Structures are given as C-alpha cells and as structure tokens.
Amino acid sequence: MIITRAPVRISFGGGGTDMPGFYEKYGGAVVSITINKYFYSFYCPRDDKKIQMISSDFQSLLTVDDFYSLKFGEGFDIPSAVIKHFRLYHGFDLFTASEIPPGSGLGSSGAVTVNMVRLCSQLKNETLTQRQLAEDAYFIQRDILTLPIGKQDEYAAAYGGLNLIEFSEKKVSVVPISIDSDIKKCLEKNLLLFFTGRTREASTILQHQEESVKDDDGSVIEAMIKVKDNAYQIKEALEEGDLERFGRLLDEAWNYKKKMSPEITNEFLEKIYNLAIQNGALGGKITGAGGGGYFMFYCKEDRQDELRRALENEKLRFLDFKFSDKGVTILNNGNGM
C-alpha cells in the first residue's frame, strides 16, 4: 500500500490574482498558509487490469476493466485525468478521503490533484520537484479538464507553509514568509474558521472574473489590483508582527474581493460577516472564490467565546486547526516506511 496526503490552505489575501487572464497582464500575488487538514489517497496494486476507485467524500464507487476504459463525467475526473496523464496501465484499488468537504474554499481540488500527481509520479519512479508537482497539477486541471482555475492552490499544496506566491507571465515565485514563533502561535490562536454549511462551485465565479478581465472591465480589474496590493500589505504586517493591522487588512481584502464578482457574497454571508464584526472580529473573509465554504475571522482571544456563540447560534460549525509546514507527503511508500 502507498499512502499520500496533501494539505489544504487558508488564503489570507490576493485570491483571484492567480488567474492567468489577470496575472499575465498585471502580475498576481497571494499570501496563504497550509493547515493540518488533509486529502488522503490509499493505493493498493491488483493482480488484474481492473481499476477501482472509491471516494469517501462523495460516497461513490467506480470500477473499470482497464486503463483504456477510464473516461470523464463519472465523478472521478481528477483521479482519472492524472492516471491518464501518467499512463498507469496496471490494475489497482484507490481509496480517497478528505478531512474537509469538497467545495469548502480551502483549496481542496488543488490538494486532490497535487496528491494524485505525487502518488502517480511515485508509481512511475519519477522524481518531481515541488514546482513540477504544482505545474503538472495545474496543467491537468486547466488544460485537460478545462477548469477555470488559478495556480495558488496547487503551489500551496506542493510547497506547504506560509508563503507569498507571486505570479507573472513567465514564472511563479514562492517566497517563504518568516515570522517570529510567538507571533505565529498568536496568529494561529486568533484565527477562527467556521463552515457556512454551504458548499459551492468556484468555477462560475472564477469564470466571471476571467471574462471580466478579458473584457477590460475597469471596476473588476481595479478591485483585483487592490486585492493584489493588499496581499503585499498582509505580508508586511505579518513580518512586522502587527497582527491587529493584519486583522484589519483582512477586512479590507473582503471588501475589495466582493467587487470582483456579484456571486462572491449574498445576503446570508453579509449577515454572518456583520455579525462577526459586531462580536469581536477585526476582519475576515471567505477562504476561497466565494459564495459559501468557510469563513475565516481574526479575533483576539478575549472575545472568541462571544464570536463562537454568535456564529454557532446561526448554525455555523467551528473548525479547530493548526498550521502545517509540510506540503504533499508520502506517508507509506509500500515498503513499510
């Protein structure tokens, strides 16, 4: 058996500027950190040519006679695309499971794809760098599956940790952000995640943003440039240890982000956000493209009980987490290691 896992991430700022339609013209920048919530793959070889895949998240099963019988549209598009890309002709069983629900806004699709790329590269005895893992995962989703995605989730899952990730037409740069250990602990303690109970398809929102940039929609482009600038300010606040400024920059980020697409927020999300601010949060934002998933808030410890009560009364679920410094990892390589 081979077991792999890839972390999901929290995006602090810059989300959306990692879309090629934007960064190829204006450059993009995202600040994110991975957390200890993971997507897992469990692989076992078979003696025949059959491929059997089981998804715990979707409670679904797919069995095909051989590699050539794999096709898209049966609920296993990402694993199937990666398997086809690496040309795994032999039979095997694959079980997948995630610690967070799909469509949560925590970069789960990127984590799934990076995880599968790492697994398949191991099976093919190919040594890929973190950059190659991220780029292969991006290529499979964007070019093979034609999903309107950016690059931040793939790089976050491949590299892990707290990073400024910069995007341009020619390259992607991953710059680790170094902060004092006490500041990092305080940041971890003061960040709270709440599941809205609503998952969403990010593709519609991201497609709207990409089309708006292509059509030179001035208001959307202006908002995205401000979101990018906000990411650099967030990096600066973290490096300076100014967490109060960091919290208020999250509020700025949310207000800029809402101007990027009309589907990012709605009446329910606005109600939750305003309630959080009234109950101690300095700032916060939806962690992904928008429309649902997880809300992240920065709130000092002395008001966290108040904030939790207010949001749990609205049926939001608190998610306890820790930061994670590692990207995609092989936990068991089939040799008992």
Q: Which of 18, 93, 143, 153 is catalytic?
A: 153
Cβ proximity of 167 and 27 under 8 Å: yes
Is 153 annotated in the active site? Answer: yes
Q: How far apart are CA 67 and CA 208, in angstroms?
A: 35
- Amino acid (1-letter code) at residue 277: I
Q: How far apart are CA 296 and CA 113, in angstroms?
A: 24
CA distances (Å), origin 59, targets 65, 94, 97, 231? 21, 13, 10, 37
In the chain, where does DSSP find H-type helix? 20-26, 77-86, 108-123, 130-139, 152-159, 181-190, 202-214, 218-240, 243-257, 267-278, 304-312
Structure-block tokens of residue 327: 């990207």
Q: What phi, psi does 235 have (nearest 5°)?
A: -60, -45
- Active site amino acids: 153
